[in-house]
Structure 1
């Protein structure tokens, strides 16, 4: 029974992190039909920005946990929104309407460029911002102890998930975005500024990726190559759940998170294999993912 509790707790905590990473990726694909491989570098930029800002804050004598969270949010939002705006306006806007595979290659090139930009700015020395993680201590759940920071990440992922659902389903902007998803040409004919909505969407998706990196920074050692590792995991989640579906990203994150936790506690040698085995199994029976929709081809 103890093992079951450990699997559930570890699985849902890891799933919350996976959802934070994958949310921005699936938002961008759902609206723009762009599988943004540069999302991994946006995550890394958020992690580096947050780690740097926290380092300056604590080096200057700061010790307020609330202020540390404000710094994480502000630094991640600023770097994510600005970088997303530059990528969308400076590159992607010139290529709308091109084949999805070409857009995939272009964003992968952006990923490689940003990885080198990160090394130029921050170097190759690892960054650490452990103070918020240590300050939140550990919480006893039955006979298990769980990091308070990990539970906070779980709460943040729930808030972001509900917020995205409300934004897409209950707001005017969300309804406009859903109309673009359904038929871009008709939306343009009805007077919707599709390009402006694309800019807003990409900036939001990029910001979500940077926020995920910023929140993760106190848990890990921020090192070069971080974005490449993350984009692979995010891709596995969104493909499992269905590209473009927020619900699918959440369900896919839970499935992958629980599968990984089960493997770690029972067969640790299969930790990496099990993630891709889950993805492959789902795609065998649901080629478009659990919540993916078949898009009619226009002729």
Structure 2
């Protein structure tokens, strides 16, 4: 029973992180139909920005500042990085490519991934960054005999807030309803007077900000090093494919399924840890090719 409880705790924590990583990716695809290969780089940019600022906060001129300020700094770094990078890329590059074939957009965003990866090495170098202070400052709690980091528990709460906020925005606000209209039929929405270009900008900036937020919140728990974005994008794709491309509910369900499967493998069959994520993806796609919550797209003639 203790091992099952550990699987549930570890799986839920890992799923919360996966959802934060995948949410921005699925939002961008749902509205813009762009399978954004560069999403992992947005995650890495958020992680690097947060790690460097937290390092300054504790070791530089801000050494005497309170610990709680570092958590605020994590969020501020993510918002700033996502906003700036998202606007520059969407306005400077992607808006020139709208209406092109989806495969071409994959190639373009993959090239963007490579450019951003080298750009981060130029800005932050190749040495790893550590920002462990916010993680350690929260301490640990005992749940059912298991010691669990309070920071990890807080990550679960953040993922619930983000998921609930996205759902409420899409379902309960006028902007969200307009965005759903663009999702269902872009041409009709444009004919009804919707500023689709503005909706695309808003969506892309939201997606990049979510990716940067995931990176910033993860930075205190990991070593931020080159190649981080490439590792993350593979996991994010696995989650959104399992849940269904473009579905927030699907991203949450996919993250939970993948997280629990990985935790079970870690506890019962560690040699299968790397395989189990893609095993789950293969099983789901064999039964439901569009994913758990994916919608079958109607082909227009």
Q: What's the TM-score bracket when you normalise by the shorter of the two chains? A: over 0.9
* 2:40 match: 40
- How many angstroms apart in 1 are the aligned matches of 2:246 and 2:42? 18
* 1:280 match: 282
* 1:79 match: 81
* 1:11 match: 11
- How many angstroms apart in 2 are the aligned matches of 1:19 and 1:290? 15
- How many angstroms apart in 2 are the aligned matches of 1:272 and 1:23? 22
* 1:120 match: 122
Deviation at 1:188, TM superposition (A): 0.6
Supply the RMSD in Å over aligned alpha carbons: 0.6
- How many angstroms apart in 1 are the aligned matches of 2:76 and 2:285? 38
CA displacement, residues 249-281 of structure 1 (integer Å, 9 cap, x when unaligned) = 000000000000000000000001000000000
Q: 1:98-109 counterparts in 2 under 5 A?
A: 98-109=100-111
Deviation at 1:64, TM superposition (A): 2.1
CA displacement, residues 97-130 of structure 1 (integer Å, 9 cap, x when unaligned) = 1111110110011000000000000000100000
SS in 2 for 1:192: coil
Gaps spanning 5+ residues in structure 2: where?
none
* 1:22 match: 22
- How many angstroms apart in 2 are the aligned matches of 1:277 and 1:293? 22
Q: 1:215-230 counterparts in 2 under 5 A?
A: 215-230=217-232
SS in 2 for 1:146: strand
- How many angstroms apart in 1 are the aligned matches of 2:128 and 2:121? 11
Count, aligned residues: 299
- How many angstroms apart in 1 are the aligned matches of 2:194 and 2:240? 28
> Which one of the candidate residues 256, 259, 270 is aligned to 2:258?
256
- How many angstroms apart in 1 are the aligned matches of 2:11 and 2:65? 31
Deviation at 1:63, TM superposition (A): 4.7
* 2:185 match: 183
Is 2:107 aligned against 1:135? no
CA displacement, residues 33-61 of structure 1 (integer Å, 9 cap, x when unaligned) = 00111000000000000000101110131
- Provide the TM-score with structure 2 as the length reference: 0.99
- Provide the TM-score with structure 1 as the length reference: 0.99
- How many angstroms apart in 2 are the aligned matches of 1:160 and 1:265? 29
- How many angstroms apart in 2 are the aligned matches of 1:273 and 1:62? 46
CA displacement, residues 193-248 of structure 1 (integer Å, 9 cap, x when unaligned) = 00011000000000000000000000000000000000000000000000000000
* 2:51 match: 51
- How many angstroms apart in 2 are the aligned matches of 1:197 and 1:115? 27
